[in-house]
Amino acid sequence: MIYTVTFNPSLDYIVSVEHFKLGMVNRTHAELLYPGGKGINVAIVLGHLGVPAKALGFIAGFTGDQIQSMLAAQNIAADFIKIDQGMSRINVKLRSDEESEINGMGPTISEQDLEALYAKLDQLSEGDTLVLAGSIPASMPEDTYERIMSRLEGRGVEIAVDATKDLLLNVLPYHPFLIKPNNHELGDMFGVTLETNDEIITYAKKLQDMGARNVLISMAGDGAILVPEKGEVLVSPAPKGQVKNSVGAGDSMVAGFITGYQKSGKDLKTAFKMGIATGSASAFSDGLATEEDVKKVLTEVESFKL
């Protein structure tokens, strides 16, 4: 089974306004409402690709109930911990001449709530995959990722981590199966600006030296790079298409990589191609990619000589 953890799920309210003006009444011409959060996005895309997954994390209030209901409507399994106080956050994403976001806070997560999550994660065993994705709420210990990986160490659980800077660097001693920074995040970790593929590969290998097994670097319109645990570095251009939505594209890449890895019998090149196709398919869609969307892009990706 594949499990994803989202500490701070959200309802993502996406509104489109023509020529938004501050201080004025603005009316939308399009509205979308999705369950959000990086781990939830991964679980949804895995479901679209026919791969069973279960979303873990914390929910609260009527917004939490709505998140759970919307996942159930998509046949996405969830085993959230319900927090008595507060409510799951609403994130507002405004599409106009410029894109803007207002992200809510979410509920306060207690040590008792966290222990309840640990108890669920303690049930994972060899052959399971765990995806840790996104930021850690201010009410939680900063070393929560490390605590989780320490508890699961030696059990044969493959862990993918999609986080930024210190959150990611601090888990490397636990040898995550996959990490997925983008090229800008990779540069930020080392205080450098990366301009060429060779520079990106050099610093990705530094992450391997620090403990990562497979390093997947997303580069938006410039494609992607995989520095694998074994074998040659793979470099791919980006598929052609009109970018409609950047939200969830990185999460979709992680879901696609895991799908390709599992369905191919653990072939990393297949996983890489599926990750690129899935991430791009979401970027070319208004929402998260469907299996049909992915198949269309995968045809182009399969033609790339990596």
Predicted confidence (pLDDT) per residue in 239-292, tens digit: 999 888 777 899 999 999 999 999 999 999 999 999 999 999 999 998 899 999
| Element housing 35 (H / E) | strand 30-36
Whether the predicted model's global pTM rises above the 0.85 cut = yes
Contacts (Cβ under 8 Å, ≥6 apart) of 123: none
- 19 — alpha (psi -120 to 50), left (phi > 0) or beta? left
Does the pLDDT at position 196 exceed 90? yes
At residue 165, the pLDDT reads 85
Please, which pLDDT band fits residue 58 given cuts at 50, 70 and 90? very high
> What confidence tens digit (pLDDT) does each residue in 118-130 have?
999 999 999 999 9
Q: What three-state secondary structure class fits 38?
A: helix
Residue 94 φ then ψ, to 5°: -100, 120
Mean pLDDT calculated for residue range 71-86: 95
Mean pLDDT calculated for residue range 156-170: 92
At residue 295, the pLDDT reads 94
Mean pLDDT calculated for residue range 89-114: 93
Does the pLDDT at position 114 exceed 90? yes
89 neighbors 106 (Cβ within 8 angstroms)? yes
245 neighbors 286 (Cβ within 8 angstroms)? yes
Sign of CA dihedral 280, 253, 235, 217: positive
Average pLDDT, the chain: 94
- d(C-alpha 238, C-alpha 219), whole Å: 8
Q: Which of 306, 289, 212 is nearest to 249 (CA)?
A: 289
- d(C-alpha 257, C-alpha 228), whole Å: 12
Mean pLDDT calculated for residue range 9-35: 94
Mean pLDDT calculated for residue range 67-81: 95
Instruction: Count other Cβ atoms within 10 Å, centred on residue 174.
Output: 17
Helix and strand numbers, DSSP H then E, in the chain: 10, 13
Mean pLDDT calculated for residue range 162-171: 89
Largest CA distance in the chain: 58
At residue 286, the pLDDT reads 81
Please, which pLDDT band fits residue 90 given cuts at 50, 70 and 90? very high
Does the pLDDT at position 104 exceed 80? yes
Q: Which of 213, 228, 209, 239 is nearest to 272 (CA)?
A: 228
Say what percent of the chain tops pLDDT 90: 87
Does the pLDDT at position 25 exceed 90? yes
**Which residues participate in catalysis according to the annotation?**
251
Ordered strands of the 30-36 beta sheet: 30-36, 10-16, 89-95, 99-102
Extended strands (E) in 84-232: 89-95, 99-102, 129-133, 158-162, 178-179, 214-218, 224-227
Q: Which of 47, 114, 107, 69 is nearest to 287 (CA)?
A: 47
Does the pLDDT at position 4 exceed 90? yes
Please, which pLDDT band fits residue 217 given cuts at 50, 70 and 90? very high
Instruction: Count other Cβ atoms within 10 Å, centred on residue 141.
Output: 12
